[in-house]
Structure 1
Amino acid sequence: MALTLLFIILAVFLILGVPVAVALGGASLAYIMVKGLPDVLLIHRMIGGIDSFPLLAIPFFILAGHLMNTGGITTKIFAFARSLVGWLPGGLGHVNVGASVIFAGMSGAAVADAGGLGSVEIKAMRESGYDVDFSVGVTAASSTIGPIIPPSLPLVIYGVMASVSIGELFAAGLVPGLLMALSLMIMVAWYSWKRDYPRDGPINPCWIWTTFKDAFLPLLTPVIIVGGIATGVFTPTEAAVAAVCYALVLGLIVYRSLTWRHLVRVSMDTITTSAAILMIIASAAVFAWILTSEQVATKLGGLLLGITDNKQVLLVIMMVIVLLIGLFMETIAAITILVPVLMPIAVSAGIDPVHLGILLILNLMLGLLTPPIGMVLFVLSEVSGVRFEQCVKATMPFLVPLILVLLLITFIPEIALWLPSQVYR
């Protein structure tokens, strides 16, 4: 009875458009009251859900991304990517993907990519005569690379929830992220051939060298973050702090593009975003505790294992469940709810938790590109001035290569697990 009420109240809140954190917390509070448990249990569980040192990486990575965007770093990255691959047919489409790969090593968030690079990319593609649907579609799809290539905010949260090495998760995301980029570049090449899109210009080694020198210091950011973690110089949380310090040095001292007014605005944006994410994690921690105490994972695991004990079939079933939830729930909330349910099933079936994490995050990224949630689509609609419905239509074709990559990693886990096995095991 209480568990049924929990899901009904949550569904009603989400349908009414109540913020996810409030919906999860409200539904959990109703369950606690029906069960006759102390009200203070809600607060204790919420505090326990965010009382974790690795979660400190979240506000610091968010701050680093904001500093890079505000300090004009994205423009330098875009120029360097343009010099590298702009000479290909449909050059700016390839530049779009390449810039997202580079920026992924700095921000770790799809929305930051879409909001920061997106405005620069779409403006440049429009001025060069590219169709609006193509410009928006490739920008939306390429932004999902951010949370796969390290550092990644969703992978940090998954690692905390699943008690999995964040360093291994970061290593596991590199090859799948590059595979996503390759698949999108193939899609861009096909569009360019079909629509006869222009090259950005002939390859120019002098221009490449000039833009490389200009972007060299920003390009060191992912090297510092990933290299520091891989060599054991610092933890993922300390790497986030290092990224912020480095971004401040670039913005305040090297390029002098940041002012104190910028810092105040960036700090407030970081506080707002971090508070929203941590509130979702705190509320979802109570919700996850309820699911665990009600043995939902055990019951669902028994149901799925009763259907099949084949690992690949189980993974496909779990990915379908994740995909459906990702359509209607924000990424962070989905991770904190799904991990306590899916992890016991994965362990019982012998599925590697690192492999599951990469699949989970990649799957949830598809939810950022589809209505009704589609956070990336809302951001691009705002920065591009294109109606949300047009953004949805433009992005749909680019889901095909991303889904193919998801299936490939599902059935060939070595794609994600090879690099961690070389670095950590």
Structure 2
Amino acid sequence: MEFSVLTITLSSLVVLFLIGMPVFMSLAISSGIALIYGGYLPLSVIHNSIFDGLNLFPLLAIPCFVIAGTLMEYGNITKQIVDVVNQIVGKISGGLGITTILACTFFAAISGSGPGTVAAVGTLLVPAMLRNGYSKEYAGATASSGGTIGLLIPPSNPMIIYAILANVSVTGMFTAGFIPGFIVGFVMVTTAWLVARRQGFSGDLEAKDFKFSYFLKSCFRSFFSLVTPLIILGSIYSGLCTPVEASVLAIVYALFVGFFINRALNLSSVYKSLLEGAMICGSVLIIVGTSTLFGKILTFEQAPQRLAQSVLEVSSDPYIIMLMIIGVLIFLGMFMETLSTIIILVPVLMPMFSVVGIDPIHFGIILVVTNEMALLTPPLGVNLFVASRIANVSVERLAIGVLPFLVALLLCILLLTFVPDLSTWLPAYLGYGQ
């Protein structure tokens, strides 16, 4: 029986995934099998494609933002942000859970990483919740759920990857994330409050009653930490910096505040930050390189055109197509890492969107929000594993604790799907729309 190159490629990829092969090796091996079986391209295309995939200037923003986030954690910037936020909402029911989500939202505008946000904020607030009588499940659930906002609030590493693959403006994607990010943040805060009320959790027993004068003094003491997101994002939207230049600015600013203002950084913590950034970004960038090769194979085999034809035979309604894709993304998110899902699917799906009239920026936001669910769904659920270690609770029990937050995220996805202006209005207004 004669098999097509596309069948061999996809079958080998699925088999490699099932036996637990790392994503970058699965992509490289299945692409190599396709090249050997097809025989229509020289094997030199392998290293050429990998180099082309990594030789992209916008990718420099990812390691810089990750390192900036770790520097700010070691430099006490994160702690100061948490302390100020906790003064506002710490005393109300579930106040520490709400503080966790708001601090995650704030820190997401610095690091751009979901698991990184959980680690930075959860390490500070999960022990505080446990001391105040909150359950381990609630503490871990709020930390892991709040960390998902790191994918949506700019700067976002998945948004950078998507913008490169979809050939849209990185700044446009960042702009599109503001309104959906605040919507998701508000829904998460409301969910945390409702769950805390139902389970009878009080506020922070260690927090002082809110006094405006004391709050102003705290803001003044933490001024350099609190303005960090404004400096980073303001430099981008004012036109002074590109996202890559802003990521370098974030590192310089984090070093300045950590060394000279908070005096919490030293050469050892700088080394740890660089090491963490290298470990995180090395795995991301090698997946990007091998995905370029895999995408070239799919292009030669006309996989995007075949997929578009198959989907359009079911329906040509953009909303029906979006719902079908959301279902696929939720399923894949249980087994594949966020960046891997984006890298593999976007080159295949983008040609279809131009046919049915789906705005690429709108879909990018839906893609990112849907992948937020992937951070909370086992067996992969990266945020769950990070939060479970911090809260000292099993992943199985934590997965039950995040169910209300998953329902809230699903409602946000449906809202953003059927009201595209929530994603596209601001970038169009500022001149970044399609």
The TM-score normalised by the length of structure 1 is 0.97
Amino acid paired to 1:35:
G
For 1:79 and 1:360, locate their aligned partners in 2 and report how far apart those are by CA, in whole Å.
33
Match of 1:243 in 2: 250
Matched, 1:389 2:392: no
Q: CA deviation at 1:265?
A: 1.7
For 1:382 and 1:130, locate their aligned partners in 2 and report how far apart those are by CA, in whole Å.
16
Matched, 1:263 2:270: yes
Amino acid paired to 2:75:
G
Amino acid paired to 1:55:
L
Matched, 1:233 2:237: no
For 2:214 and 2:408, locate their aligned partners in 1 and report how far apart those are by CA, in whole Å.
31
* Aligned equivalent of 1:310, options 309, 312, 317: 317
Match of 1:81 in 2: 85
Q: CA deviation at 1:353?
A: 0.8
Q: Which moved more, 1:102-111 or 1:391-400?
A: 391-400
User: Structure 1, residues 78-135: CA drift from partner, whole Å, max 9, x if none?
Assistant: 1111012113221111111110111011001101101111111211110111111111
Q: CA deviation at 1:216?
A: 1.9
Match of 1:194 in 2: 198
Match of 2:106 in 1: 102
For 1:416 and 1:203, locate their aligned partners in 2 and report how far apart those are by CA, in whole Å.
35
Q: CA deviation at 1:193?
A: 2.1
* Aligned equivalent of 1:117, options 99, 117, 121: 121
Can you give the 5+ residue segments of structure 1 that lack an aligned partner in the other structure?
Answer: none
* Aligned equivalent of 1:3, options 3, 6, 20: 6
* Aligned equivalent of 2:54, options 43, 50, 54: 50
Does the 8 Å contact 1:141/1:395 carry over to 2?
Answer: yes
The TM-score normalised by the length of structure 2 is 0.95
Match of 1:323 in 2: 330
Change (3 A) 1:268 1:189: closer
Amino acid paired to 1:407:
L
Can you give the 5+ residue segments of structure 2 that lack an aligned partner in the other structure?
Answer: none
User: Secondary structure of 1:146's partner?
Assistant: helix
User: Secondary structure of 1:180's partner?
Assistant: helix
User: Secondary structure of 1:87's partner?
Assistant: coil
Does the 8 Å contact 1:88/1:94 carry over to 2?
Answer: no
User: Secondary structure of 1:56's partner?
Assistant: helix
* Aligned equivalent of 1:418, options 416, 425, 430: 425
Count of aligned pairs = 425
Does the 8 Å contact 1:327/1:367 carry over to 2?
Answer: yes
* Aligned equivalent of 2:31, options 28, 32, 37: 28
For 2:197 and 2:302, locate their aligned partners in 1 and report how far apart those are by CA, in whole Å.
53
Match of 1:185 in 2: 189
Match of 1:355 in 2: 362
Amino acid paired to 2:98:
H
Q: CA deviation at 1:141?
A: 0.9
User: Secondary structure of 1:145's partner?
Assistant: helix
Q: CA deviation at 1:182?
A: 0.9
Q: CA deviation at 1:66?
A: 1.0
Amino acid paired to 2:234:
G
Q: CA deviation at 1:164?
A: 0.3
Does the 8 Å contact 1:230/1:423 carry over to 2?
Answer: no
Does the 8 Å contact 1:369/1:392 carry over to 2?
Answer: yes
For 1:351 and 1:295, locate their aligned partners in 2 and report how far apart those are by CA, in whole Å.
20
Does the 8 Å contact 2:79/2:124 carry over to 1?
Answer: yes
Match of 1:128 in 2: 132
For 1:369 and 1:214, locate their aligned partners in 2 and report how far apart those are by CA, in whole Å.
35
User: Structure 1, residues 194-231: CA drift from partner, whole Å, max 9, x if none?
Assistant: 12221335322233223322332122221122111111
User: Secondary structure of 2:150's partner?
Assistant: coil
Match of 1:63 in 2: 67
Divergent runs of 4+, >4 A: none
Q: CA deviation at 1:283?
A: 1.0
Q: CA deviation at 1:424?
A: 2.0
Amino acid paired to 2:34:
Y
Q: Which moved more, 1:320-329 or 1:347-356?
A: 320-329
For 1:158 and 1:266, locate their aligned partners in 2 and report how far apart those are by CA, in whole Å.
25
Does the 8 Å contact 2:141/2:387 carry over to 1?
Answer: no
Pairwise mapping of residues 198-213 of structure 1 onto structure 2 (< 5 A)? 198-200=202-204, 202-213=209-220
For 1:211 and 1:293, locate their aligned partners in 2 and report how far apart those are by CA, in whole Å.
59
Match of 2:286 in 1: 279
Does the 8 Å contact 1:318/1:342 carry over to 2?
Answer: no
For 2:247 and 2:83, locate their aligned partners in 1 and report how far apart those are by CA, in whole Å.
25
Does the 8 Å contact 1:159/1:169 carry over to 2?
Answer: yes
Amino acid paired to 2:159:
L
Amino acid paired to 1:46:
I
For 2:403 and 2:298, locate their aligned partners in 1 and report how far apart those are by CA, in whole Å.
34
Does the 8 Å contact 2:140/2:387 carry over to 1?
Answer: yes
Percent identity of paired positions between Structure 1 and Structure 2: 34
Q: CA deviation at 1:294?
A: 1.2
User: Secondary structure of 2:220's partner?
Assistant: helix
